Amino acid sequence: MAPVGGGLYQQGFAGDTFNTVWHMAQLLDGQSKVGFLTKVGQDSLSDAFVSELRNDGLDVAMIGRDPARTMGLYMIELDGVERSFHYWRDSSAARALAEDPAWLTSHFMGTGLIHLSGITLAILSDTARDNLLAALSDARTAGARVSFDPNIRPSLWASKTGIQETIAMFLEQCDIALPSFDDEQTHWGDQTPEDTLNRFAAAGLTEVVLKNGADSVAALVNGTEHLIATPKVTGLRDTSGAGDAFNAGYLSARLQGSGPVEAIRQGQLVAGEVIQHFGARIPKSELVKLAQK
């Protein structure tokens, strides 16, 4: 449920990894096959979600259906243009997306890029996390690359220690990291963006791109550092989904052969557009314009 002004909310489908792959599917426009792996219910709301994805060009073959659960609910609250979240997702089918290791592994095989987030890790059981970790390892052995946005939501975690230990464990199976400096500063005590880049590099990642709100994006890619100023955006309405949109722009550009600097600028362009609209996704009419730039 996303605010649209005047005390009103609009029902829609969103979520960090979904926002990213949805934007990627629109930006790539059939140049690469983009799918979303999750589980939903067998109710009318879940049916509408799957239909929307299919109509918007995403592959829905990796969406499992759970007759005992439905979709999670979250509400975005705005303070000016800054957002916070309220969650109702204890019965969410997505919490069971990694309970069946064979199902998970079968869908990972043959993929070129897998993108996941810390929110995914936060909602899984310990057993499901182990299943996911093993499936990612097998997929990387088979040639896939793994992209990870830590995207920390403290209310979804039991403790700060749990956040640190779980994310450190998953970084071992990742190739690309797309963290946000405010998260890293809060939960790891990083003093500067360079601290974050160096910590991720020490964990073995060769491609680290650090988002930092309106400040410059810092990156460390194959040993080369980059610092790209973020263009000023006017007409801000809602910062929901800004990081997810950046991820989509960056990853889409990289898939199309762009270097890291050009990909960062594409990420900034897409993020700058989403914050000029209510909700976490850009209207498709506006995305078409971005894809043409």
The catalytic residue positions are 244
Residue 76 CB-half CA count within 13 A: 27
Label each residue of 72-124 as H, E or C. Answer: CEEEEEEECCEEEEEEECCCEHHHHCCCCHHHHHHHHCCCCEEEEEHHHHHHC
Which amino acid, one-letter code, is at 58?
A: L
Let me know if 203 is exposed, middle or buried by CB neighbors in 10 A (0-12, 13-18, 19+).
middle
Structure tokens at 138: 């097998």
Residue 90 CB-half CA count within 13 A: 0
Which amino acid, one-letter code, is at 286?
A: E
Structure tokens at 162: 């749990």
List C-alpha distances in Å: 15 to 5, 169, 262.
20, 23, 26
Q: From 212, 216, 213, 243, select the one nearest 227 (Cα to Cα).
A: 216
Separation CA 264–CA 218 (nearest Å): 9
Structure tokens at 251: 């990853």
Structure tokens at 102: 């064979």
6 touches 273 (CB < 8 A): no
